[in-house]
Amino acid sequence: MPGNDTAGLPSEAFFTPGTSSFTEFLAAHRPGLLPTARSLPDGVRMPPDRFPHGTTVLALTYRDGVLIAGDRRATMGNLIAQRDLEKVHPADDHTAVAFAGTVGLAVDMVRLYQVELTHFEKVEGTPMTLAGKATRLAAMIRQNLAQAMQGLAVVPLLAGYDLSAPGGGRGRGRIFGFDAAGGLYEKQDFYAEGSGSPYARGALKKLYRPGLTRREAALAALQALYDAADDDSATGGPDLNRRIFPVVCVITADGFERLPEPETGELSREMVEARTTRPDGPHALL
């Protein structure tokens, strides 16, 4: 860390007893490195077409754990800023975070969150609980409130496999949503975030059922993202010509896994082909 008089040796800050939070460590010793430190002047609000924004992301539980997915489009107003944005990232072995909102701030927040979890585990000697991970992410979002009020909001979606099930039973997948002020809400079965989320949640409400297989859950996620793209211009559907497909990841007792592109590509083609005869997608079972 800069500011050390002895070349090659860490500064005294590294040897000062304190919190196991890396974010709080930065706030105390190098606050300028925090993404929330770069606020706009008072009274300034950033127009939505000046920075890339990312949508839509979703998560749903299934038989073996939890699935989290996101489309690939980033927009600046009515322009497509990027067609292959990565919105879903592993946070640790059994947790993943996806984001909607201002891309630059979101990417920095995800990287900081990854370091936060690693730092905690190294200092405490044990991984943070899934509920603790959700609470820590909520605190990081709350630190960004000033920028969110100026139009630079980041709203993540957290999914993880909880190994510490009550009573020593089998673990389970869990989903946590947030608001721009850092409010934390655990969601049951499925949830979606971003501008296309109302349409994605509507599709999942129609398609979701307990005990889905991995393939069924992946198809339900792709169908929901397709419906979101069908009604929300900021959400991108599968681009078969450019071979750009949504990111689909699963988290089970074995850990985090991103579905290989050939698999998501095959499922996307199957879905698009089925939509040629049923443009509105599959019907719910009665």
Quick check: 33 pLDDT over 70?
no
- pLDDT recorded at residue 26: 56
Least confident span in 6-10, 229-233, 259-263: 6-10
Contact (CB, 8 A) for 213 and 225 = no
Mean pLDDT of the chain: 86
Active site includes 19? no
Which helix H or strand E contains 162, and what residues bound it?
Answer: strand 154-162
Measured at the alpha carbon of residue 54, what is the angle toward residues 49 and 59, in degrees to the nearest 5?
155
More confident residue, 168 or 230: 230
- pLDDT recorded at residue 149: 80
Contact (CB, 8 A) for 123 and 167 = no
More confident residue, 33 or 238: 238
Least confident span in 42-51, 70-79, 146-155: 42-51
Q: What is the pTM of this model?
A: 0.83
Least confident span in 41-55, 195-209, 245-259, 262-276: 41-55
Give me the catalytic one of 23, 36, 55, 61: 55
- pLDDT recorded at residue 213: 97
With 0-12 CB in 10 A as exposed, 13-18 as middle and 19+ as buried, what is 12? exposed
Quick check: 17 pLDDT over 80?
no
- pLDDT recorded at residue 11: 57
Quick check: 260 pLDDT over 50?
yes
Which token pair is 123? 């200092």
Quick check: 159 pLDDT over 80?
yes
Quick check: 1 pLDDT over 50?
no
Mean pLDDT of 47-51: 67
Quick check: 77 pLDDT over 70?
yes
- pLDDT recorded at residue 43: 54
